[in-house]
């Protein structure tokens, strides 16, 4: 009604103006026409769709279709309708003519927001508008800041441009927030066993994932050092680095200051080599011990020494030069391990290490024997006035039984020995026949981990394995075959004991690892090995004896190593599913 009244007032005003002009012309004697329509024209406006508001020069004249009379001149037209973009234009009115405008309106744009998973909160320009999937229609042209939030997931956000007549969308793939934290633990020195709330979690350095949020009591233990316990806290998604500096245990026992004339004699304490004279042996238990001094060209010297706590006991000996008869020579015999019985031509001649003097210049048979190990027999040719060296590395016995201690991270894995379930980790398996066996650890939610282990008679072999999360497959793991000469060396992979050589280690995480081989009487052998996913990597080593010299296998030993590789790889193939 108001819009129509405005239009009527405008037309009436025009008529009044015309009447005034005519009256003025009559008074002045001028003859003017009396038709006021010469000052008016007609505008006719239609739209698709119809029903749009017609606004001319700021006055709303109602919906399309629409027509009216307007004064001659330039006018501004604005069409507005619901979910359609505004239409603006200027048009001209000429005298006593009709201007026709037929306008097609453009539908406004739309904005659709989806997420994976759905049900996330949607905010546009910081204001909450709904949850996914969400669609906003009749959206004006422009740029819109869109954010998607969901509890337990990282927020996703972007800027979306909306244009009239076309739909716009944003698909957010939400990333789940972590629910646990991570400990990166190390110690000085390394190799300390780690316990969290009393549960074994490997040895340093180690990275422990999946640690529940909160404070945890972490204990570091290493032989010869005091236990170290700390309370370490972690938040969700946080990685905590912690290094424990271990203090040596208070010294126990006493010391022995060993000297000889001449110097340079090998010193054995309770049949264990402890260097050469002059030397000081520390950390000796308070008790009575047996000491032996040996030097080429001199008779062995054996004595007993009593050590007291906190005291240093001096032992000074004078070696007597050996005087072999012109027709005889000597045989210096050592073994790994030491303490083995020595037989010369089937006659007992003491225990290793020892030097047999006055041996007739001829060919003799030397046998070295130690319980739990296979006998080693060698033929030795003695030359008058000379000392012949004999070193025997005793292989682990193939009869009798031994034990395995099996631990895993995480614990609670089922232990299978040669396919038979033997309990869950941590576990001690006893009464195992000496020789090679197949050990497998299995736990729900983790990949199985298998390896070949060699059990020695009368010995306990420690095994510690870390299981990888997953339900199977070898996309991230490979296999490492380890052999050594001599065999029976302890395998330490990334500071974790993995059995003894020869062995096939499966489930090894792809990447670079530190491999160490250890054996009494030999220097540690350390190397870097790279394992590729789904592939088998071989590592072999000839161990060097302590004090120099390599355990040279010769042609036969080389064939032995090759045979071991062949057998281990063959076993690996048969064990694979």
Q: Is 105 helix (H, G, I), strand (E, B) or coil?
A: coil
Residue 3 contacts residue 10 (beta carbons within 8 Å):
no
Tokens of residue 25, six digits: 């012309």
Tokens of residue 321, six digits: 């030069």
Question: How confident is the model at residue 374, as a pLDDT?
Answer: 84
* Fold exhibited by the domain 401-575: Immunoglobulin-like (2.60.40)
Cis before 410 (ω within 30): yes
Average pLDDT value for the chain: 84
pLDDT digits (tens, 9 = 90+) for 324-382: 555 688 999 999 888 889 999 999 899 999 999 889 989 999 999 887 788 899 999 99
CA angle 145, 147, 149 (to 5 degrees): 170
- What is the spatial distance between Cα 368 and Cα 391, in angstroms, rounded to a whole number? 9
- What is the spatial distance between Cα 569 and Cα 577, in angstroms, rounded to a whole number? 14
CA angle 437, 483, 403 (to 5 degrees): 30
User: Can you identify the CATH homologous superfamily of domain 181-245?
Assistant: Carboxypeptidase-like, regulatory domain (2.60.40.1120)
Residue 543 contacts residue 524 (beta carbons within 8 Å):
no
Question: How confident is the model at residue 372, as a pLDDT?
Answer: 73
Judge residue 276's burial from the number of C-beta atoms within 10 Å of its C-beta, 0-12 exposed, 13-18 middle, 19 or more buried: middle
* Fold exhibited by the domain 109-173: Immunoglobulin-like (2.60.40)
Question: How confident is the model at residue 502, as a pLDDT?
Answer: 85
Domains 2-104 and 401-575 share a fold: yes
**Could you count the other beta carbons within 10 Å of the beta carbon of residue 86?**
16
Residue 6 per-residue DSSP state: H
Spatial CA neighbour of 238 closest among 210, 216, 217, 219: 210
- What is the spatial distance between Cα 556 and Cα 500, in angstroms, rounded to a whole number? 22
Q: Across-strand partners of 98?
A: 42
Question: How confident is the model at residue 146, as a pLDDT?
Answer: 95
Spatial CA neighbour of 225 closest among 240, 204, 207, 241: 204
Nearest-Å Rg of the Cα atoms of the chain is 48
List, in order, residues 6 or more apart from 428 with CB less than 8 Å away. 403, 404, 405, 406, 460
- What is the spatial distance between Cα 338 and Cα 273, in angstroms, rounded to a whole number? 9
Tokens of residue 163, six digits: 């244009």
Backbone dihedral angles phi then psi of residue 535, each to the nearest 5 degrees: -120, 165
User: DSSP for 439-464?
Assistant: EEEE-TTB--EEEEEEEPTT-EEEEE
Judge residue 71's burial from the number of C-beta atoms within 10 Å of its C-beta, 0-12 exposed, 13-18 middle, 19 or more buried: middle
Tokens of residue 84, six digits: 């359609």
pLDDT digits (tens, 9 = 90+) for 127-148: 999 999 999 888 888 899 999 9
Which CATH number among 1.10.10, 3.40.50, 2.60.40, 3.90.930 corresponds to the domain 2-104? 2.60.40
Q: Tell me the three-class secondary structure of 275-339, residue by residue.
A: EECCEEEEEECCCEEEEEEECCCECCEEEEEECCCCCEEEEEEECCECCCCCCEEEEEEEEECCC
Q: Is 13 helix (H, G, I), strand (E, B) or coil?
A: helix
Spatial CA neighbour of 337 closest among 497, 498, 481, 458: 458
- What is the spatial distance between Cα 530 and Cα 528, in angstroms, rounded to a whole number? 7
- What is the spatial distance between Cα 369 and Cα 378, in angstroms, rounded to a whole number? 12
- What is the spatial distance between Cα 113 and Cα 167, in angstroms, rounded to a whole number? 11
Tokens of residue 561, six digits: 């190593």
Tokens of residue 403, six digits: 């034990």
Low-confidence ranges of the chain (pLDDT < 50): 1-6, 8, 18, 20-30, 32, 472-474, 551-577
Q: Where are the domains of the chain?
A: 2-104, 109-173, 181-245, 401-575
The terminus-to-terminus CA distance of the chain in angstroms comes to 89
């Amino acid at each position: 009604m108001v819009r129509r009244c405005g239009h009527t007032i405008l037309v009436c005003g025009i008529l009044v103006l015309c009447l005034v002009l005519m009256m003025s012309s009559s008074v002045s004697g001028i003859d003017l026409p009396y038709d006021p329509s010469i000052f008016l024209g007609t505008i006719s406006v239609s739209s698709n769709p119809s029903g749009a508001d017609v606004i001319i020069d700021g006055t709303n004249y109602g919906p399309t279709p629409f027509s009216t009379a307007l004064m001659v001149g330039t006018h501004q037209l604005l069409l507005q309708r619901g979910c359609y973009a505004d239409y603006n234009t200027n048009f001209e009115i000429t005298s006593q003519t009709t201007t026709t405008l037929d306008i097609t309106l453009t539908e406004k744009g739309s904005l659709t927001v989806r997420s994976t998973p759905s049900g996330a909160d949607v905010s546009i320009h910081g204001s909450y508008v709904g949850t996914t999937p969400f669609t906003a229609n009749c959206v004006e042209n422009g740029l819109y800041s869109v954010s998607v939030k969901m509890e337990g997931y990282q927020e996703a956000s972007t800027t979306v441009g909306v244009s009239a007549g076309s739909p716009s969308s944003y698909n957010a793939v939400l990333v789940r927030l972590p629910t646990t934290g991570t400990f990166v633990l190390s110690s000085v020195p390394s190799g300390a066993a780690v316990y969290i709330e009393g549960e074994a979690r490997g040895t340093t350095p180690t990275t422990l994932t999946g640690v529940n949020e909160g404070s945890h009591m972490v204990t570091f233990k290493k032989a010869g050092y005091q236990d170290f316990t700390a309370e370490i806290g972690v938040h969700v998604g946080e990685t905590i680095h912690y290094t424990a500096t271990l203090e040596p245990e208070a010294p126990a026992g006493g010391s022995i200051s060993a000297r000889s004339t001449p110097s340079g004699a090998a010193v054995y304490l309770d049949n264990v080599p402890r260097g050469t004279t002059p030397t000081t042996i520390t950390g000796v238990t308070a008790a009575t011990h047996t000491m032996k001094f040996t030097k080429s060209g001199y008779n062995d010297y054996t004595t007993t020494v009593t050590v007291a706590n906190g005291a240093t006991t001096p032992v000074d000996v004078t070696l007597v030069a050996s005087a072999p008869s012109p027709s005889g020579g000597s045989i210096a015999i050592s073994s790994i391990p030491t303490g083995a019985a020595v037989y010369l031509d089937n006659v007992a001649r003491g225990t290793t290490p020892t030097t047999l003097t006055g041996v007739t210049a001829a060919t003799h048979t030397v046998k070295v024997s130690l319980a739990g190990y296979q006998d080693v027999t060698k033929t030795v040719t003695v030359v008058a006035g000379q000392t012949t060296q004999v070193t025997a590395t005793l292989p682990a016995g193939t009869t009798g039984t031994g034990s395995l201690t099996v631990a895993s991270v995480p614990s609670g894995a089922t232990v299978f020995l040669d396919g038979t379930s033997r309990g869950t980790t941590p576990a001690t398996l006893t009464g195992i026949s000496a020789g090679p066996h197949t050990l497998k650890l299995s736990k729900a939610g983790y990949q199985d981990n298998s390896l070949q282990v060699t059990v020695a008679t009368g010995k306990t072999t420690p095994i510690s394995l870390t299981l990888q999360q997953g339900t199977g497959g070898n996309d991230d793991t490979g296999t490492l075959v380890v052999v050594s000469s001599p065999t029976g060396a302890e395998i330490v992979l990334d500071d974790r004991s993995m059995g003894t050589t020869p062995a096939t280690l499966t489930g090894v995480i792809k990447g670079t690892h530190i491999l160490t081989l250890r054996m009494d009487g030999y220097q540690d052998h350390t190397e870097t090995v790279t394992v590729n996913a789904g592939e088998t990597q071989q590592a072999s080593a000839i161990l060097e004896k302590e004090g120099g010299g390599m355990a040279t296998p010769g042609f036969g030993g080389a064939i032995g190593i090759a045979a071991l590789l062949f057998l281990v790889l063959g076993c690996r193939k048969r064990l694979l599913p």
